[in-house]
Amino acid sequence: MSTPQSGGMRSVNAAHALILFGATGDLSKRMLLPSLYGLDIEGLLSSPLKIIASGRQPMTDDQFRNYAKDVLLTHNDNNPSSHEALDNFLKRLSYVVVDLNDSKNIASLGKTIKNIDQANPAIFMSTAPNLFETAIEGLRLSGLTNGKARIALEKPLGHDRQSSQAINDAVQTAFSEDRIFRIDHYLGKETVQNLLALRFGNALFEPLWNANAIDHVQITVAETVGVENRGSFYDQAGALRDMVQNHMLQLLALVAMEPPAHFNATEIRDEKVKVLRSLRHIDRKNVLQNTVIGQYGPGAVGMTPYPGYRDDLGASSNSETFVAIKANIDNWRWKGVPFYLRTGKRLPIRQSEILIQFKPVQHSIFDTPLQANKLLIRLQPEESIRLTVMAKEPGLDRNGLQLREVALDLSLTAAFSTQRRRISYERLLIDFIEGDQTLFVRRDEIEAQWDWIDRIRDGWLHHKMQPKTYPAGTWGPSAAVALTEREGVSWHD
Ligand code: BG6
């Protein structure tokens, strides 16, 4: 992982041209333009870096600059700054109309970059994957795939292993793996990277980070939002492919991986992929015992009433908006330790967290019941780490020592309150521009993820499993509670 620095000390691989396909789309508006601007005002973009925006909509450079200005003034409370800084940023921008369905048309893009070979162009594809093949062909014709040119790909990268392979094959005809940056925006989140700091920067946890001391792990990514205006995409995907295949499996891999010998892209990803390949298959034989799916019906989040998924969608559907899974990792470290995963839309709160539940003490000398230690790593909305421990209640203990669970709380948001909170794309974009792949997903990881997911989906189809309805604003169908309760485990809500 590179350490961004202001001033001139940058990677020799740093791009001098960043090409944004899909520059007028939603991601660009919400994340990419604000992130690039945030990096610029901190002096983290090199002075030669030009940003070439591209989209289907005809616009002149000035019209795009005005569009970007508007975006930055309205979507950018993260980065207040002066007019001068904004004008300087806008000067980096230019715009080229490109129809990604037409490879010859893309070829004209190459002409906008002087000395392509020295520019190390960084090409960010924020577009539908069905356009990738013609786009790659066009990039090749324009000379934009040569030398150190690199490409970043947004999800969804396929809808199963086969389609993901086809996309990867197409991209690899033009870019070698060390020049392909597959995005999982969870890897750009501070707290996700903090998992590595916590595990490998402290002597305390690693000796206990295994089946001897850990009873089980829970990973929850709960959202209060519904399907919003993404129905046509989401309904094809469902929660398993939208959230578990990527974000949740990456979290699981970071929690479960062996310590790499060095902090670099190859070794970290080597360790993650080993975990992903060690996931016990969930297939037709055991999918009914190990997974639960749900779909939100009408209900309320807090005091606000919401319609059900089908009303949001305006159509009947059997896609899951909630999934809970009991996963197992078949290796020495995690033998017999279940990893419970759960994600859903229209749940009661927006909260992503990882709970490490330790085993009880070997032998208790106290009369009062003891709670086993828990380590709760909260990723969002606030970032915190909480360790619960047993402590003696103050008093003279005439009826025996009284113990109570208390929390050692570390609020990362408060501890680093002077630091600006960044959106994950700032991190991902600077690493992409500088050519550091540590926080991007390698092909073998993606394919191991799909292998595991495809078996689950095949099991669901085989058993014609239908999602159970849960009222909006609740923690999913009751079967999700039963999934853990039958093993004596309660979800941490
Ligand atoms: C995206 C999913 O990848 O992640 C969305 O497609 C989901 O459905 C989003 O809402 C969640 O991201 P975050 O950063 O808000 O937790």
Q: What is the mean pLDDT of residues 82-109?
A: 86
> CA-based angle 8:139:87, to the nearest 5?
40
Q: What is the mean pLDDT of residues 125-131?
A: 83
Contact partners, residue 238, CB within 8 Å, separation at least 6: 319, 320, 321, 323
The pLDDT of residue 168 is 94
The pLDDT of residue 112 is 77
Kindly state if the Cβ of 137 falls inside 6 Å of ligand 1.
no
Out of 243, 382, 423, give the residue to mutate to test ligand 1, the one with the largest number of ligand atoms within 8 Å of its CB.
Answer: 243
Q: Residues 157-170: pLDDT tens digits?
A: 899 999 999 999 99
291: tokens are 């997974």
Nearest CA to ligand 1 atom 14: 186
The pLDDT of residue 179 is 95
Kindly state if the Cβ of 190 falls inside 6 Å of ligand 1.
no
Per-residue confidence at 1, pLDDT binned at 50, 70, 90? very low
Residue 468, φ and ψ in degrees, nearest 5: -90, 140
Q: How remote is the CA of residue 301 from the centroid of ligand 1, in Å? A: 18
Q: How far is CA 36 from CA 277, 434, 438, 490, in A?
A: 35, 13, 19, 42
Tell me whether strands 93-97 and 180-182 are parallel, antiparallel or unpaired: unpaired
The Cα–Cα gap between 14 and 199 comes to 30
% pLDDT > 70, the chain: 96
Q: Residues 171-200: pLDDT tens digits?
A: 999 999 999 999 999 999 988 889 999 999
Query: In this predicted structure, which of 127-131, 238-242, 250-254 has the lowest mean pLDDT?
Result: 127-131
161: tokens are 């292993």
Tokens 């993606």: give the residue: 446
Looking from the CA of residue 230, the nearest atom of ligand 1 is 8
Q: Residues 204-234: pLDDT tens digits?
A: 999 999 999 999 999 999 999 999 888 888 9
Quick check: is 247 catalytic? yes
Segment holding 429, helix H or strand E = helix 424-434
Nearest CA to ligand 1 atom 8: 242
Instruction: Give the distance from CA 120 to its chain's centroid.
Output: 26
Out of 223, 233, 309, give the residue to mutate to test ligand 1, the one with the largest number of ligand atoms within 8 Å of its CB.
Answer: 223
The Cα–Cα gap between 166 and 349 comes to 37
Find the length of the chain: 493
* Catalytic position from the list 75, 216, 247, 492: 247
Kindly state if the Cβ of 154 falls inside 6 Å of ligand 1.
no
The pLDDT of residue 238 is 97
% pLDDT > 90, the chain: 73
Q: How remote is the CA of residue 84 from the centroid of ligand 1, in Å? A: 34
The pLDDT of residue 282 is 98
Say if residues 44 and 83 touch (Cβ distance below 8 Å).
no
Say if residues 322 and 333 touch (Cβ distance below 8 Å).
no
Kindly state if the Cβ of 353 falls inside 6 Å of ligand 1.
no
Q: What is the mean pLDDT of residues 40-53?
A: 92
Per-residue confidence at 63, pLDDT binned at 50, 70, 90? very high
Query: In this predicted structure, which of 241-245, 326-330, 417-421 has the lowest mean pLDDT?
Result: 417-421
Helix, strand or coil for residue 221? Answer: strand
Q: How remote is the CA of residue 423 from the centroid of ligand 1, in Å? A: 13
Q: Residues 242-293: pLDDT tens digits?
A: 999 999 999 999 999 999 999 999 999 999 999 999 999 999 999 999 999 9
Closest CA to 423 of 380, 454, 385: 380
Tokens 């999918």: give the residue: 287
Q: What is the mean pLDDT of residues 59-63?
A: 95
Looking from the CA of residue 424, the nearest atom of ligand 1 is 14
Per-residue confidence at 76, pLDDT binned at 50, 70, 90? low
184: tokens are 């999982």
Closest CA to 346 of 318, 322, 313, 317: 322
Q: How remote is the CA of residue 220 from the centroid of ligand 1, in Å? A: 13
The pLDDT of residue 79 is 62
Report the first-to-last Cα separation within the chain, whole angstroms.
Answer: 34
Closest CA to 311 of 323, 299, 303, 326: 299
The pLDDT of residue 6 is 39
Tokens 């961004």: give the residue: 4
> Would you say residue 7 has pLDDT above 50?
no
